[in-house]
Amino acid sequence: MRVELALNLPREEISVPLTRHVVSAALLTAGVEPSCVHEVEMALSEACTNAVQHAIEGMSYEVMVGISDEQVTIDVVDSGSGFGQRHVATDGHDHWAENGRGVGLISALSDLAFDSVEGQGGSVHLTKALPWSQGTQRPGPTLSAQRPL
């Protein structure tokens, strides 16, 4: 199974819960353990909040989600000022942070990677292994992968 979602969102606070609900509904419907979905929601909320707070005013930001049998991948890409090539602490002690410890929280809940160029925006790439709810039939290969028609 491979599900891909792409969202182009306004730089407005309402986009954060909207994105969180879309992604969590997709994961829950697929049969992912609710505790894992909750962790993904929290990490996604932090990444989107950062994009809303730091993207260039009036610009949108993008969230791309890929759900496979093994993991979920999420990319949050904004057009903000970026954070240059400075080291971004993932231990929750980012002394450059203005509003909290979002990077540390995201890092604790998922595998995390940053890509940013000062003045050219940034992206956050999250991955998380997916545990499936008991009794959920894990999706198998697609029909076309099983045998040619």
Beta bridge partners of 54: none
Domain boundaries, the chain: 2-133
| Confidence tier at 21 by pLDDT (50, 70, 90) | very high
Predicted confidence (pLDDT) per residue in 76-109, tens digit:
988 765 544 344 444 444 444 455 455 554 555 4
Q: What's the topology of domain 2-133?
A: Heat Shock Protein 90 (3.30.565)
Given this model, what pLDDT does residue 84 score?
42
Global pTM exceeds 0.85:
no
DSSP 9-40: EESSTTHHHHHHHHHHHHHHHHTB-HHHHHHH
Distance, CA of 55 to CA of 22 (rounded, Å):
21
